[in-house]
Amino acid sequence: MKSTPVIQLNQVTKTYENGIIAVHPTSLSFQEGTFNAILGPSGAGKSTLLRMINGLETPTVGEVIVQGKTLTAKNIRQIRSRTAMIFQQFHLVSRLNVMTNVLTGRLYYRPWWTSMFYLFGKGDWKIAQWTLQRVGLIEKAWERVDQLSGGQQQRVGVARALAQCPQVILADEPVASLDPVASQEIMELLREICRQDGITIVANLHQVSLAIEYADRVIGLNRGRVVFDDSPQALVDDTLRTIYSATP
């Protein structure tokens, strides 16, 4: 018997004011502790889907349920506190050191005014130190992040996500800006986090090979529609043509 999904999308649709439908009616669920990869061409709706899960976009129709709660304006901060994001361009504060960037992952748990002065408690510091050890960057804690390589900066992004103590990590093209070696390191780190911590990961990817190697499940999007939802082993040539075809 399966447990309650940690994420549920019930007939979710996103239509922009210009009439473009980014996501057609879509229902998906994601189980706890699974690594889910989303594939599709540019403009397929991958980023919009992730942004709706995190409340950065509001569905035009349908509902998003995260950790058993329907996402609303009233509970969005609470849900985001346990739903971390990892971005393609890292979204770090370049003038700050690594430790402070990681500590920003604790802001969801601090009074709003503390964010103005980067005030954190002892518990926050311990969590930040633990996450930096986890990603192998404790020796870089006091260096400015703009002095790090791209792969190291993305590891800071992973550490910041872990500092939220999340149940879900959403990764939007987390290795698109990295070289092949750094890409493998980040994907291995995310898989380890998924396996060891039971954190659900939903990652948008361009690299089919990485989805096959690291994901438990692959979802294919094309023009805002789910055209594939199965194990990586089912990604045969005909399936890939369907996912990346100009006319799904």
Query: Which pLDDT value is given to residue 114?
Result: 58
What CATH number is associated with residue 216? 3.40.50.300
In a domain, 164, yes or no: no
pLDDT tens profile 205-222: 999 999 999 999 999 999
Query: Which pLDDT value is given to residue 1?
Result: 46
Q: Tell which residue, 232, 236, 242, 177, has the closest CA to residue 210.
A: 232
In a domain, 208, yes or no: yes
CA 5 to chain centre: 17
In a domain, 247, yes or no: yes
Q: Are 224 and 22 in contact (CB under 8 A)?
A: yes
In a domain, 71, yes or no: yes
Separation between Cα atoms, residue 122 and residue 62, nearest integer Å = 41
- For residue 230, what are the domain limits? 1-82+170-177+201-248
> Is the dihedral angle over the CA atoms 5, 225, 233, 89 positive or is it negative?
negative
What average pLDDT does this structure show over 39-57?
94
pLDDT tens profile 177-200: 999 999 999 999 999 999 999 999
Q: Does position 247 have pLDDT exceeding 70, yes or no?
A: no
In a domain, 98, yes or no: no
- pLDDT > 70: what percent of the chain? 95
Q: Tell which residue, 19, 32, 30, 97, has the closest CA to residue 60.
A: 19
Phi-psi region of 7 (alpha: psi -120 to 50; beta: other; left: phi over 0): beta
In a domain, 106, yes or no: no
Q: Are 140 and 112 in contact (CB under 8 A)?
A: no
Instruction: State the burial class of residue 103 (Cβ atoms within 10 Å of its Cβ: 0-12, 13-18, 19+).
Output: buried
Q: Tell which residue, 4, 64, 54, has the closest CA to residue 32.
A: 4
Distances (CA, A) of 181 to 111, 175, 177, 185: 39, 10, 12, 6
- Count of domains for the chain: 1
Separation between Cα atoms, residue 184 and residue 182, nearest integer Å = 5
pTM, two decimal places:
0.92
Phi/psi at 135 (5° precision): -95, 5
Query: Which pLDDT value is given to residue 4?
Result: 82
pLDDT tens profile 109-145: 776 555 556 678 889 999 999 999 999 999 999 999 9
Q: Band the pLDDT of 107: cuts 50, 70, 90.
A: confident
Query: Which pLDDT value is given to residue 110?
Result: 72
In a domain, 59, yes or no: yes
What average pLDDT does this structure show over 33-52?
95
More confident residue, 1 or 148: 148
Give start and end residues of each alpha helix (H) in 3-143: 46-53, 76-81, 98-103, 122-134
Q: Band the pLDDT of 108: cuts 50, 70, 90.
A: confident
Query: Which pLDDT value is given to residue 200?
Result: 97
Q: What are the beta bridge partners of residue 39?
A: 220
Q: Are 67 and 47 in contact (CB under 8 A)?
A: no
Q: Tell which residue, 227, 205, 222, 248, has the closest CA to residue 37.
A: 205
More confident residue, 114 or 92: 92
In a domain, 150, yes or no: no
